[in-house]
A and B are shown apart, each in its own frame.
Chain A
Amino acid sequence: MRKLVIWNDPRYRAWFFQILAVLLVGGFFATVIANTVDNLNQLNVASGFGFLQHTAGFGISQTLIEYSEASTYGRAFLVALLNTLLVAGIGIVFATVLGFLVGIARLSSNWLVAKLATVYIETFRNIPLLLQILFWYTAVLSNLPAPRDSMQFGGMLLNRRGLYAPAPVGEPGFEYVMLAFAVALLGIIILRRLSERKRMHTGAGLPVLFPGLGLVFGVPLLVFWLAGSPLHFEVPQLRGFNFVGGLRAVPELLALVFALSIYTASFIAEIVRSGIQAVNWGQSEAALALGLRRPEVLRLVVVPQALRVIIPPLTSQFLNLTKNSSLAAALAYPELASVFAGTVLNQTGQAVEVLAITMAVYLSLSLLTSMAMNFYNSRIALVER
């Protein structure tokens, strides 16, 4: 065979292009970094992460951990991060519940219910999320009554300053109740194992549902009674123009949670619908032919297969919801994008560091999620011959 000229040999070509790419990207970053350093020197902006130890000097309206104006920027970052996770956590729970309900409703044999679900999905997923957030915040929540004529449901109060709920306060001895609860959960796991083992041997398992419920509710309640009811509720009180005490969710949080859950639920509903439809009807027929009852068919045959289709896109919706919580920047709800990439950035002027930290947080959240996802996928993937 004739020897190839070096510039026609694919291997050398590949090397050449790859080295070229590395040089180009490296050169690009070198220029950018050099320019940035020049610019920062000209602007006299400090660099480095030392600012995280400086006093922040601004207040935050909703904090999960202790925070005051004398706290550091680092503390403000933590507060903001926790608030992001709070919005995302609540939003994910509501969006999942609502999304599953709507998704199942869309497949209902009831014409009206199916149509209502379709209208819901088509309405909310075609309107920008930011618009929905602003609508809830400006058009709905700020038209609520003032604190003195709050709306009441159960022990909860709703007014234009937010949603107030009684705060549970544990007294000494309450830790035993929590411990009893943990023990009960452990008991259920053991019970299920035993039942499974018995089913493998004899074909009939132990009853799990009612003993389990008894464990979860009965044991902690018993301990609660034995320890002398070590819990009271701190009810919010009207002092002057505002309520004091109890748990409070600021209206910004409410607007965000409403909009995020309603918007994301419309996407989750579609995922759930397609997941259920992806399970072949023959699977249900085969299961019925084997003598399983309807609920068992759903629980043991349809749902596990549907979940395999549902869960990967579902997690990416959870991730979207988390990233979309950054739209709080438009409402000044104190989470990462608004407190850290907003207030802190403006006060310190250290745009590079602040944005780098913010983006790194979101990036690691999504990388962690996709890692968990890949792990889950490899566990549930169909084992093919």
Chain B
Amino acid sequence: MSFVRKSYLPETSPPLLSVGVLGWLKANLFSSVGNTLLSLLGLYMLWVIVPPLIEWALLDAVWQGSGREACLVENAGACWAFVAAKFGQFMYGRYTFEERWRVDLVFLVGALTVGLLMIGRMPGRRYLAVFGLVIYPVLAYFMLTGGAFGLVEVETSLWGGLLLTFVVASVGIVVSLPLGVFLALGRRSKMPVMRTLSVIYIEAWRGVPLITVLFMASVMLPLFLPPGTNFDKLLRVLIGVTLFSSAYMAEVVRGGLQAIPRGQYEAASALGLGYWRTNLLIIMPQALRLVIPGIVNTFIGLFKDTTLVMIVGLFDFLGSVQVNFSDANWATPQTAASGYAFAALVFWIICFGMSRYSMRLESRLNEGTRRA
């Protein structure tokens, strides 16, 4: 029996191409002829796009300067000096210079509140939510408009930049939420009249583009009111945006309502609760929790759509960027591209951040249901 081995052979290492970096490359990029071609195509696209972009945005970019001369050099890349010089306008529009600390304060308090609320389990979260939804809007209103408590009044026609974008988007979402809840309840109501009215309202607003709604708000709304009444352009736009987004909000809330099992309604009526108490105490707390991701998504959509207010003559963030292109002191071939790139970056960071947050919320909500 001398041919039986008594010991194991020493292990040889696996083939070079199946482990480590090379193995990963082979499995993920070069597994077949077609895949190799695709990878090469992808690499080529990267090579075409990325180096020129880095060159334009970083290497050749002009970072400092006080006028167009700085950016008119040979082969200049992005003119970030323009963005730096106009940064105040991009953020606040023409808001009175000495009063800008008020905007900063409102932004800061808002960011803190939202940030703390997002942390999750925190003592006193309930009070913070009440502060954010009830006290904060009032505070923000007085801080931004002024005219009371010894603050100088700042007309809304001076508001602009990122400030205006945030004002339009947040007012739109906060006011449209209760409207949307009522409309969603109406659409699911057993009373035919309520149902028809809600359906007509929702479908009519969802069927038209926001821009026509804004035209309507700025041109037709004054005609609808008793002769002689006239009001703020910003308020008109806010009304238009709110009515528009309430229709979308209604559909989001309806989605949540449809996910509530019938047993919840039956149990509530077995306990002797009427329509309003059933909805207020039993259904809505569950349904609204389900649709938080949907609400965040609506908010992202609305946030992007606020750029349209520039078409009716308000200077939101994009509008403020755009209006500064006509400044002769900064007229260079790169001004427009740099301004748009900066605006795109700001919008992207905000929207991408929110969509990630909504995805995290969604998975956290799913966790709860999976455990049950």
- The answer to whether B38 and A366 have CB atoms under 8 Å apart is no
Q: Is the CB of B264 closer than 8 A to any CB of chain A?
A: no
Picked from B28, B224, B310, the residue with its CB within 8 Å of the CB of A35 is B224
Query: A138 contacts which chain B residues (CB < 8 A)?
Result: 325, 336, 340
Q: Which residues of A contact B355 (CB under 8 A)?
A: 126
Report which residue of A109, A122, A126, A139 has the largest number of chain B beta carbons within 10 angstroms of its beta carbon. Answer: A126
Contact assessment for B45 and A366 in the assembled complex, using a CB-CB cutoff below 8 Å: no
B333-A143 in contact (CB<8A): yes
A interface SS class: helix
Contacts of A326 in B (CB 8 A): 209, 211-212
Question: B191 interface residue, CB < 8 Å from A?
Answer: yes
Per-position binary interface string of chain A over residues 105-137, scored 1 when its CB falls under 8 Å from any chain B CB and 0 otherwise: 000111111001000001100111111101100
Given A18-B191, A40-B223, A134-B322, the answer on whether A112 and B42 have CB atoms closer than 8 Å is: yes
A366 with B206, Cβ < 8 A, contacts A109-B35, A130-B307 known: yes
Measured in the bound complex, the distance between the Cα atoms of B220 and A355 in whole Å is 9
Residues of B within 8 A of A359 (CB): 208, 212, 216
Chain A residues with CB below 8 A from B344, complex form: 127, 131-132, 135
On whether A112 and B43 interact (CB within 8 A), knowing A323-B209, A358-B212, the answer reads yes
A residues less than 8 Å from B192 (CB atoms): 18
Residues of A with C-beta under 8 A to B322 = 134
B residues near A40, Cβ cutoff 8 Å: 223
Residues from chain A with Cβ under 8 Å of B224 in the complex: 32, 35-36
Q: Which residues of B contact A116 (CB under 8 A)?
A: 42, 45-46
B interface, size bucket: 35 or more
Chain A hits for B45, CB < 8 A: 116
Q: Is the CB of A128 within 8 A of B304?
A: yes
Secondary structure call for the B interface: helix
Expressed in whole angstroms, the Cα–Cα distance for A21 and B351 within the complex equals: 39
Q: Is the CB of A329 within 8 A of B211?
A: yes
Contact with B along A138-154 (1 / 0, CB 8 A): 11000100000000000
Report the minimum CB–CB distance from B140 to chain A (whole Å): 23
The docked-state distance in angstroms from the alpha carbon of A109 to that of B207 is 39
Q: Which of A21, A358, A362 contacts B194 (CB 8 A)?
A: A21
- Which residues of B, 22-47, contact A by the 8 Å Cβ criterion? 28-29, 31, 35, 38-39, 42-43, 45-46
A345 on the B face (CB < 8 A): yes
Cβ contacts under 8 Å, B38 to chain A: 108, 110, 112-113
Q: Which residues of B have CB within 8 Å of A32?
A: 224
Interface pairs (23), CB distance under 8 Å: A18-B191, A21-B194, A39-B227, A40-B223, A112-B28, A123-B348, A126-B347, A126-B352, A127-B347, A127-B351, A128-B304, A128-B305, A129-B304, A130-B308, A131-B340, A131-B343, A131-B344, A143-B333, A345-B219, A351-B223, A355-B215, A355-B216, A366-B207
Top 6 nearest A-B pairs by Cβ distance? A111-B28, A18-B193, A126-B351, A323-B209, A366-B207, A139-B337
Given contacts A14-B191, A109-B28, 7 further A-B contacts (CB under 8 A): A32-B224, A35-B224, A36-B223, A112-B43, A113-B42, A365-B207, A367-B203
